[in-house]
Amino acid sequence: MLKKLLFAILISIPFIVSAQENALPSIPMREHIVYYEKFYRIRNELSKQQVISNAMQWFKGAFPGQPAPILNKNEQSAAVNGTGIFKVNTTAGNYYWLRFKVSMIPGDGILTFRIYNVYEKPIEKGITNEFSKIEYRWWDYRNGYPWSADDKPLFNGLDSGVNALSISLEKKIGKLQPPRFRALALYSTNVEADHVDFAYDAIKFYNKLAVEKGFVIDTTSNWEKLNDDNLKNYQLVIWLNEFPHNEAERRSFEKFMSNGGAWLGFHVSGYNDKDTHWPWFVDFMGGAVFYNNNWPPLPAKMIVDDNKHPVTKDLPKTYTAPINEWYGWKPNPRDNKDVKILVTLAPSNYPLGKKDVIRDGDIPVVWTNTKYKMLYMNMGHGDMNLTSALQNRMFEDAILWLCKK
């Protein structure tokens, strides 16, 4: 029975050995794990239901004998998840089983295909092996310490196997296409608890949007990732609850922005005062320097300055934003001719706060310095910011606007 089953798997996935004998196999990683992510433009005639059923059909054909794919119902979208396996021949008659998670998530005209949690099991004469995480072996291989001569053909086999799989899925779904853009979201965990809450909420929110719209978002709390080499991979940088404190990171960010990169900053990431010592950033913010705030955090009425701008087109003329700590600025970025203000704190909120009270003043909340591809939003304190469906549209529109080609 087992023999039959293995044979079926074998013929379903032809193994292709890479011709580039000396090249380091390019295995994509995310958050330290091997992680393949590909995007398909769904053929127009396919309904979401058909996409799901085609994906399940493909799965059964690609991995006969594997546990059936699981249809997951989350909030609105359904996803097909399952466990896949294929065989890789290496050297001296050895071979390996590679087992991994497969997930296919239909979004807004886009299907996201992922392969991750990869395990390898060597089949060698006279030795019993179990499945183990491929990252153990990949880590050593990348650092120049292969476990055996099998490593290179194994990793090449993984890569070409995944490519063969993803190409075979095209027939069922539509053409493979590159991600719309790649975003890097940076945050810190050792900051105010309310700012950490926001970062986690925003990561969840943008991960979901990434699947719907077909872009990649990498998230990290390691600010050293703000370096020239790494930033080459991204069109958009998001600061969720912090700004860089060291010179090297600041210089890399300045270079990224001057070369046409995009930035979205929330709340405290735009904070600066006399101790920040980063004049470039003050200029980038349109001259805005932190002046005052309300406390405790409160909901507040917003005035939308421009309902035609792509970032605010889905908002009404006024709306009530969920609980946030609101910042006032002096100088006021509105005084800068290069700044376009999109949302303003309504004066009808005043006096706003109890311990710290905002009593008056023109306080912009969302703006862009038109000299850069940037957008600042003062929202980002606490766990209520993403609870307004209305305001969430602005959070979506913001990054789609920043990354529009």
Stretch of 120-128, 221-229, 271-279, 374-382 contacting Zn ion, by CB under 5 A: 374-382
For Zn ion, the closer CB: 24 or 193: 193
260 exposed, middle or buried (CB, 10 Å; 0-12, 13-18, 19+)? Answer: exposed
The residue nearest Zn ion at its CB is 381
Q: Are the CB atoms for 162 and 44 separated by under 8 Å?
A: no
C-beta of 305 vs 325, nearer to Zn ion = 325
Closest approach of Zn ion to the CB of residue 274, in Å:
19
Q: Among 85, 325, 342, 368, indicate the residue that binds Zn ion (CB under 5 A).
A: 325
| Stretch in the footprint of Zn ion (CB under 5 A) among 60-68, 128-136, 169-177, 379-387 | 379-387
Q: Which range of residues in 121-129, 221-229, 319-327, 332-340 is near Zn ion by CB under 5 A?
A: 319-327
Our CB check for Zn ion shows the closer of 39 and 243 to be 243
Binding-site member from 353, 381, 394, 402 for Zn ion (CB under 5 A): 381
- Choices 50-58, 229-237, 269-277, 323-331 (CB under 5 A): range interacting with Zn ion: 323-331
Identify which of 138, 53, 72, 132 has the alpha carbon closest to the alpha carbon of residue 99: 132
Looking at 140-148, 258-266, 326-334, 375-383, which segment touches Zn ion (CB under 5 A)? Answer: 375-383
Please give the sequence-ordered ranges of beta strands (E in DSSP) within 110-211, or none if there are none: 110-123, 132-133, 176-177, 182-186
201 contributes a contact to Zn ion by CB under 5 A: no
The CB-of-318 to Zn ion minimum distance in angstroms stands at: 23
Report the C-alpha gap between 323 and 321 in whole angstroms: 7
CB 194 to Zn ion: min, Å: 6
Gap between the Cα atoms of 186 and 265, Å rounded: 10
* Distance between CA atoms of residues 185 and 171, nearest Å: 34
- Angle between helix 151-173 and helix 48-62 axes, rounded to 10 deg: 140
- The distance of closest approach from Cβ of residue 391 to Zn ion in the complex, given in angstroms and rounded to an integer, is 17
Contact 174, 40 (CB under 8 A): yes
For 364, list phi and psi in degrees, rounded to 5. Answer: -65, 145
> What is the distance of C-alpha 8 from the center of its chain?
37
- Contact footprint for Zn ion (CB under 5 A): 325, 381
